[in-house]
Amino acid sequence: MLLMSVFFFSGCSTNPPVVEKSDFSVPDSGNVYIVRQGLHTGFFIPASIIQSHLPQVYDGFENSAFIEFGWGDKDYYQAEEATLGLAVKAMILPTRSVIRTVGIPERPEIHFADNEREVFCLDSQQYSLLLNFIENSFSKDSNGLIISSKDGADGNSQFYEARGTYSLFNTCNNWIAKGLKSAGLNISPAFKITAGSIMNNLSKHDKTLVRGLCNGRNRLQVSDLQ
């Protein structure tokens, strides 16, 4: 019973927190993708939106169509070779976290054609809240600037210092759930530990958000996203 209580409250209250108001102003609706890559899920947001609202992150991704955001354990995420030892340490010990950003040159359904994914059309308020959640997940210096951690080994990614500690109860997938909840999705971050728990929840979602692309003429059917 005690373990279940710890699990629940860790999933709901650990930094970075769900946001309920936003300082951002997004003028129109836009698409956000959630793509599964093995044990990890990430947000994919059009680079043009990032340029306008998170310009410090956009720098270096000028030729990218989308930018991925993921949150995770600092040592494991930044390692050139992710070992079992680093993975076990990340799960059993609360550790420092980072945000990883990656630029991709095309839409996620093309770049990740074989990956499990979902796409939602967010209205301006929902997108503002999601962006505020992501921005609030970065650690900042005394001047309010986000803090770079290191360049990714692949040459197309960048790591930044992040808020919150990574643990079994506060994983990259739990972070995705908190971002979706911030944007208005009827999802509880509690127990959203694995990539499968995120994707399974999205595949049966109750339409709190509009599934598919914002452009109705090119709108994806749910079956196209499975």
pLDDT tens digits for range 74-109: 876 776 655 555 455 545 566 789 999 999 999 999
49 compared with 92, residue with greater pLDDT: 49
Residue 222 lies in a domain: no
Residue 162 lies in a domain: yes
CA triple 162-154-52, angle to 5 deg:
55
Give every CB contact of residue 78 below 8 A, 6+ residues apart in sequence: 98, 149, 150, 152, 159
Pair of tokens at residue 163: 């808020």
Q: Are 222 and 212 in contact (CB under 8 A)?
A: yes
On the question of pLDDT at 164 being above 50, the answer is yes
Residue 221 lies in a domain: no
What pLDDT, on a 0 to 100 scale, did the predictor assign at position 82? 58
Range of the domain at 212: 2-216
60 compared with 148, residue with greater pLDDT: 148
Residue 225 lies in a domain: no
Residue 223 lies in a domain: no
Domain count, the chain: 1
Residue 197 lies in a domain: yes
Q: Are 160 and 101 in contact (CB under 8 A)?
A: yes
Give the residue among 161, 194, 174 at the shortest CA–CA distance from 74. 161
On the question of pLDDT at 35 being above 60, the answer is yes
Average of per-residue pLDDT values in the chain: 81
CB half-sphere exposure, 51, CA atoms < 13 A:
11
Beta-bridged to residue 44, according to DSSP, are 33, 68
What pLDDT, on a 0 to 100 scale, did the predictor assign at position 127? 93
Residue 226 lies in a domain: no
Residue 178 lies in a domain: yes
pTM here is 0.83
